[in-house]
């Protein structure tokens, strides 16, 4: 019997909620998703918390852990949970990397760089505070923090709360033998935390502020944040770079013999700055002016294929037995496509945090360059262009398994613009309609799901009924849709999660699942 191709469409950030207020999914015109739910096999899945390897079900899902679970068919302890466990056990502080970091000269500085929030997606301020305290215990004299403001995984103007919390800790720790301060910072979407080579100018701005001490000068981080908010009307993620000065000099430039920890545990937005610090003459993305000779470490290793960075504090999950590996064993051609913002998710994260293909011969990866404008100005993003190429691939009959990520619900949802997010979700639904027709035309099976929620909660919960609606820019802990179309199947009862999709795909392809995977969502194929 001829194997029917399977298409997986991931509507990034499209969760489910019954609350209509600020719900850009429920309130969107989505006739194609409605058609699929009516005419396909439909259920909902868990895409957050323990279902994707995070510490508890209070933890929001995210695209990285979601695609790890989707691509591996398993649940691995992830980012925050790994670091929590390593700190609690004391294992982190027994590593050679930590010992090297704190074994610096008395006149040298230990720098911590990363996202200053408790969003739990990229970092957690609790980890930073513990690291600073243990650095003092280890005899480090000087600590400087290069603080990136969030406003994306947490409320959009909550940055001052985290600055005040950190500076309160510093006030308790600082004495004649220990000096900890914030040295520089800026918004995560303006400096330092670029990803997928989308905007190296962001990294250059961060380098100048953190390393060279070049940027607008302020007496403290609170002054910088409030000044930029008043002058530019931006939220935390878009704050411009700032440098803290005292007596006319930056308080924390990065110099020879210093040590640095990038304390983000998630890799995608830490890779580029890690390259800037660790690459030699081959680095050509911008003029670094000077490259201090430092000991550089990540919270985790951000790329296992290239060993970047070489030094890290916590072992990342070693993901094996992925869906791609299983399909390569069967000789099945795969096609993966998205635009820049989520390209790494259908490739790197899907394949178990590996930059390289399992098989050059059997895997085709396609990236569509994202627009270099704020997402609320182009809420349709590159949905049509990616769908154009995916449909070409489907019609070619060259591929057994095809996957696409539509970033709109997530990337536009992060802007806090309800109207733009509504448009982005409707745009994705329009493209899903095109996939329905392509599936029918090619006798293919279409799966539509999401990797986590976001667009369905665009307003923060009000403390008082009379409060104005405040934009919500973070992910959610809501369930996500899952539907199989153009296949006569019955789905299992009970709540399953993203890690159950890999076995579902192999069921539909007529391939045995890997024994270590979680079970399929399919109960019966009729």
Domain shared by 390 and 423, yes or no: yes
Which residues make beta-bridge pairs with 314? 300
pLDDT the model gives residue 84:
93
Domain shared by 406 and 340, yes or no: yes
Helix (H, G, I), strand (E, B) or coil at 161: helix
Domain shared by 280 and 379, yes or no: no
Q: What is the four-CA torsion angle of 524, 406, 444, 42, rounded to 10 degrees?
A: 30
Last residue of a domain, one of 278, 299, 314: 314
Domain shared by 305 and 337, yes or no: no
Q: How far is residue 273's CA from residue 148's CA, in Å, rounded to a whole number?
A: 13
Name the band, by pLDDT with cuts 50, 70 and 90, for residue 60: confident
Give the domain CATH number at 384: 3.40.720.10
Q: How far is residue 109's CA from residue 97's CA, in Å, rounded to a whole number?
A: 16
Name the band, by pLDDT with cuts 50, 70 and 90, for residue 463: low
Name the band, by pLDDT with cuts 50, 70 and 90, for residue 355: confident
pLDDT the model gives residue 76:
93
pLDDT the model gives residue 305:
54
Q: How far is residue 146's CA from residue 130's CA, in Å, rounded to a whole number?
A: 16
pLDDT the model gives residue 1:
56
Helix (H, G, I), strand (E, B) or coil at 151: coil
pLDDT tens digit sequence for 161-183: 999 999 999 999 999 999 999 99
pLDDT tens digit sequence for 367-410: 999 998 999 999 999 999 999 999 999 999 999 999 999 999 99
The 8-class DSSP code of residue 211 comes to I
- Count of structural domains within the chain: 2
Q: How far is residue 305's CA from residue 516's CA, in Å, rounded to a whole number?
A: 23
pLDDT tens digit sequence for 209-244: 999 999 999 999 999 999 999 999 999 999 999 999
Name the band, by pLDDT with cuts 50, 70 and 90, for residue 467: confident
Closest CA to 135 of 168, 170, 183: 170
Task: Read off the pTM.
Answer: 0.74
- What average pLDDT does the segment 9-25 reach? 97
Q: What percent of the chain has pLDDT above 70?
A: 99
pLDDT tens digit sequence for 237-280: 999 999 999 999 999 999 999 999 999 998 889 999 999 999 99
- What average pLDDT does the segment 186-212 reach? 95
Domain shared by 74 and 86, yes or no: no
Q: How far is residue 384's CA from residue 47's CA, in Å, rounded to a whole number?
A: 26
Domain shared by 441 and 306, yes or no: no
Domain that holds residue 498: 6-78+319-525
Closest CA to 80 of 58, 101, 100: 58
In a domain, 367, yes or no: yes
pLDDT the model gives residue 184:
98
Domain shared by 285 and 381, yes or no: no
First to last CA, the chain: 15
Number of Cβ within a 10 Å radius of residue 490: 11
Q: How far is residue 223's CA from residue 253's CA, in Å, rounded to a whole number?
A: 19
- Taken in order 218, 224, 227, 233, the sign of the CA dihedral is positive
Domain shared by 102 and 241, yes or no: yes
Active site residues: 63
Last residue of a domain, one of 281, 314, 347: 314
Asked whether residue 103 carries a pLDDT value surpassing 90, the answer given is yes
Q: How far is residue 20's CA from residue 58's CA, in Å, rounded to a whole number?
A: 22
Looking at 33-37, 96-100, 300-304, which range is the least confident one? 300-304
Asked whether residue 344 carries a pLDDT value surpassing 70, the answer given is yes
pLDDT the model gives residue 267:
82
Domain shared by 87 and 21, yes or no: no
Residue 159 tokens read as 């940055």
**Is 233 buried (19+), middle (13-18) or exposed (0-12) by CB count in 10 A?**
exposed
Residue 247 tokens read as 């007596």
Domain shared by 108 and 183, yes or no: yes
Asked whether residue 79 carries a pLDDT value surpassing 90, the answer given is no
Query: Which of residues 98 and 60 earns the better pLDDT score?
Result: 98
pLDDT the model gives residue 438:
98
pLDDT the model gives residue 58:
81
Distant-in-sequence, close-in-space partners of 420: CB < 8 Å, separation ≥ 6: 375, 376, 377, 379, 412
Last residue of a domain, one of 249, 281, 314: 314
In a domain, 1, yes or no: no
In a domain, 464, yes or no: yes
Looking at 52-66, 160-174, 460-474, which range is the least confident one? 460-474
Q: Is the Cβ–Cβ distance between 271 and 283 less than 8 Å?
A: no
Q: How far is residue 379's CA from residue 374's CA, in Å, rounded to a whole number?
A: 9
Q: What percent of the chain has pLDDT above 90?
A: 87
Q: Is the Cβ–Cβ distance between 310 and 278 less than 8 Å?
A: yes
The beta strands (E) that lie in 239-329 are given as 242-246, 249-250, 259-262, 295-300, 312-314
In a domain, 188, yes or no: yes
Q: How far is residue 492's CA from residue 464's CA, in Å, rounded to a whole number?
A: 41
Looking at 90-104, 293-307, 361-375, 404-418, which range is the least confident one? 293-307
Helix (H, G, I), strand (E, B) or coil at 467: coil
Asked whether residue 465 carries a pLDDT value surpassing 80, the answer given is no
Domain shared by 140 and 190, yes or no: yes
* 480: enclosing H helix or E strand: strand 480-485
What's the residue count for the chain?
526
In a domain, 141, yes or no: yes
Domain shared by 164 and 180, yes or no: yes
Q: Is the Cβ–Cβ distance between 339 and 367 less than 8 Å?
A: yes
Give the domain CATH number at 174: 3.40.1450.10
């Amino acid at each position: 019997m001829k194997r029917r191709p399977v298409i997986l469409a991931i509507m990034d950030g499209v969760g489910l909620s019954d609350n209509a207020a600020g719900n850009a999914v429920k309130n969107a015109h989505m006739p194609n998703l409605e058609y699929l739910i009516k005419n396909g096999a439909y259920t909902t899945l868990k895409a957050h918390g323990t279902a994707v390897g995070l510490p508890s079900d209070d933890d929001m899902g995210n695209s990285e852990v979601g695609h790890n679970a989707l691509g591996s068919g398993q649940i691995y302890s992830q980012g925050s949970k790994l670091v929590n466990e390593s700190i609690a056990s004391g294992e982190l502080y027994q590593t050679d990397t930590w010992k090297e970091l704190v074994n610096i000269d008395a006149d040298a500085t230990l720098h911590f760089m990363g996202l200053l929030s408790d969003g739990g997606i990229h970092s957690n301020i609790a980890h930073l505070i513990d690291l600073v305290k243990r650095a003092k215990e280890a005899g480090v004299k000087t600590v400087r923090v290069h603080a990136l403001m969030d406003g994306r995984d947490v409320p959009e103007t909550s940055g001052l709360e985290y600055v005040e919390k950190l500076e309160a800790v510093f006030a308790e720790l600082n004495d004649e033998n220990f000096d900890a301060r914030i040295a520089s910072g800026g918004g995560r979407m303006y400096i330092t935390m670029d990803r997928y080579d989308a905007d190296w100018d962001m990294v250059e701005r961060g380098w100048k502020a953190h390393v060279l001490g070049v940027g607008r000068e302020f007496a403290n981080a609170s002054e910088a944040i409030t000044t930029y908010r008043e002058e530019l009307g931006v939220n935390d993620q878009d704050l411009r770079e700032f440098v803290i000065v005292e007596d006319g000099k930056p308080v924390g430039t990065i110099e020879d013999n210093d040590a640095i920890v990038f304390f983000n545990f998630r890799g995608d937005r830490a890779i580029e700055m890690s390259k800037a610090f660790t690459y030699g003459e081959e680095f050509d993305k911008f003029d670094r002016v000077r490259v201090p000779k430092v000991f550089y470490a990540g919270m985790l290793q951000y790329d296992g294929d290239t060993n970047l960075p070489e030094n890290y504090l916590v072992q990342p999950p070693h993901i094996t037995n992925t869906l791609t590996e299983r399909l390569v064993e069967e000789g099945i051609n795969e096609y993966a496509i998205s635009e820049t913002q989520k390209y790494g998710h259908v490739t790197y994260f899907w394949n178990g945090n590996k930059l390289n293909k399992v098989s050059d011969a059997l895997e085709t990866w396609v990236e569509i360059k994202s627009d270099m404008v704020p997402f609320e100005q182009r809420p349709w993003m590159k949905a049509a262009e990616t769908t154009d190429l995916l449909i070409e691939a489907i019609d070619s009959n060259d591929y057994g398994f095809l996957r696409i990520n539509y970033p709109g619900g997530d990337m536009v949802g992060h802007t806090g613009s309800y109207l733009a997010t509504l448009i982005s979700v409707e745009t994705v639904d329009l493209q899903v309609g095109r996939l329905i027709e392509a599936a029918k035309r090619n006798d293919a099976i279409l799966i539509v799901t999401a990797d986590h929620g976001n667009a369905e909660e665009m307003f923060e919960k009000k403390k008082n009924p009379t409060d104005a609606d405040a934009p919500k820019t973070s992910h959610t802990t809501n369930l996500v849709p899952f539907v199989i179309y153009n296949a006569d199947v019955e789905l299992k009862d009970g709540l399953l999660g993203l890690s159950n999709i890999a076995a579902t795909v192999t069921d539909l392809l007529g391939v045995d699942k890997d024994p270590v995977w979680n079970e399929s969502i399919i109960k019966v194929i009729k």
